[in-house]
Amino acid sequence: MPLEYIALMMVAAFFVLVLTGIPVAFAVAAVGFIFGFIGFEGWLFELLPARIFGTITNYTLLAIPLFVFMGVMLDKTRVAERMLEVIGHASGALPGGMALAVIMVGVLMGAATGIVGAAIVTLTLMALPTLLRRGYKPTVACGTICASGTLGQIIPPSLVLLVLADTMNLSVGSLFAAALIPGLLLATLYVLYLFVLAWFYSADVPALDAAERAAMSTRQLIRDLFTSVLPPLALVLAVLGAIIGGIAAPTEAAAVGAVGAVVVAAVMGRLSGPVMSETLKVTVRITAMVFFVLIASQVFALAFRGLDGEFLVEAMFDWVPGGPYGTLLFMLLLIFLLGFFLEWIQITYIVVPLFMPFLAGYPEFSMVWIAILVAMNLQTSFLTPPFGWSLIFMKGVAPRGIKTTDIYKGAIPFVIIQLAALGLLVAFPQIALWLPEAIGW
């Protein structure tokens, strides 16, 4: 049997295992080993130890557990919850002000954690009851929280960008710089949508009532802004600025961010033994998941390439009309659809490396731009009904009165906004490339 047929069977077997509910990391490794032995009787895997060793000793990837620790610490100490409360009061006189606070906290949480699941769950638990209690329409509240939580996919420092930098052999600093303006552009489009909603349908996004606003004096609000919002904001900006400015490597900046998160929590009086213990446990669990998938994907990639799978991918691209941009749009569509079924890390380590050699052959394409397109595309698939992971995360922790249709209807306007932003990024690459070029990356 030709090797290409075995490679096709390998891909089909992988999706069958995933659809049966087997964890993706186990499915990836099992399929790789089984079909690698079918094709080569196991000798191909003599190369595997060297590949795994090279992966787990990658210095840049040490930033992953450090960034995870920073985000989990800010989450477990409820610093993000306090930020939402203070920013909500600061903008509470405006219709939709609390929703704007959710967007702003989503930006900060995305920059702090880079973990979509953690951001969605945290925002749902602390913001959804608050929005509903203040009279927000359930669809608007659900959509705003889901969209804000997914900003962690594109707002640096993001785990998605870290992994893409490793997969595509790109500078982490260049990706962080390239993602900053698209991420802020997307957040701005969300805010503009809420302003339009507040203008035409103010009853769906009411302002805080006068009694609640009066409960917090202007002096107290200013003090809370300095004590509860400024420290975590300064921490995120310092970490991000050090990486983009070339002052520190990503791993070094992540280490400073981890220590800084502990300092911020201690200064705010929220650090304790149980909090530190829980933060470490969650950090180890998330890091182990990421690296296990990373190692499993090495098995799959080695077997697939050994079975001439790259020739299959090349033939698939040859069938796509439209030249370079047709190939690009086909890749984005495929990743968008895969995002319904697979986690971003599996797509990044398994799917993206198969496409990159072909896209890298087009001189008109910048790989930094391609990486940002992939990150924003994954973010869109996370939010799209009916299979978007963000919607599933929210449904799992939402109050009983929230229907699945509320979550889906609320997400649709933000999906349209994200597709518009992705279209702008495809049409105008300089949105992503201007900043890294300006600072010399």
Return per-residue pLDDT of the chain as tens, 441 residues: 667 678 778 878 877 886 777 776 788 788 888 888 887 766 767 777 877 887 777 777 787 788 778 877 877 887 777 777 777 777 766 787 778 888 877 777 666 555 666 677 777 777 788 788 878 888 988 998 888 888 877 887 777 888 888 888 888 888 888 998 998 899 899 989 988 988 888 888 887 776 666 666 777 778 877 877 788 778 877 887 787 777 877 788 888 888 988 888 888 888 888 889 988 988 888 788 778 877 887 787 778 777 777 677 667 767 777 778 888 888 888 888 877 766 677 788 777 887 787 777 777 888 999 999 998 888 888 788 876 777 877 877 777 778 888 888 888 999 999 999 999 999 999 999 998 888 866
Q: Which amino acid is at 38?
A: I
Q: Is 328 helix (H, G, I), strand (E, B) or coil?
A: helix
Map tokens 């030249």 to a residue. 323
Residue 201 CA to residue 187 CA, distance in Å, equals 20
* C-alpha–C-alpha distance, residues 16 and 99, integer Å: 41
Buried b or exposed e, range 400-419, using 16+ CB within 10 angstroms: eebeeebbbbbbebbbebbe
- Overall pTM surpassing 0.85 (yes/no): no
Distance between CA atoms of 143 and 346, rounded to whole angstroms?
26
- Widest distance between CA atoms in the chain: 77
Looking at residue 420, its pLDDT comes to 92
338: exposed, middle or buried (Cβ count in 10 Å: 0-12, 13-18, 19+):
middle
What pLDDT is recorded for position 373? 92
Quick one: pLDDT at residue 131?
Answer: 82
Distance from C-alpha of 335 to C-alpha of 354, rounded to nearest angstrom? 12
Per-residue model confidence (pLDDT) at position 72 = 79
* Environment class of 438 (CB within 10 Å of its CB; exposed 0-12, middle 13-18, buried 19+): exposed
Q: What's the pLDDT score for residue 210?
A: 66
Residue with tokens 């940002």: 372
Domain spans of the chain, in order of start = 3-438
Q: What is the DSSP string of 330-395?
A: HHHHHHHHHTTTS-HHHIIIIIHHHHHHHHTT-TT--HHHHHHHHHHHHHHHHHSTTT-HHHHHHH
What tokens were used for 254? 């992540």
For residue 215, the model assigns a pLDDT of: 65
pLDDT (0 to 100) of residue 107: 75
Spatial separation of the C-alpha atoms in residues 44 and 30, rounded to whole Å: 15
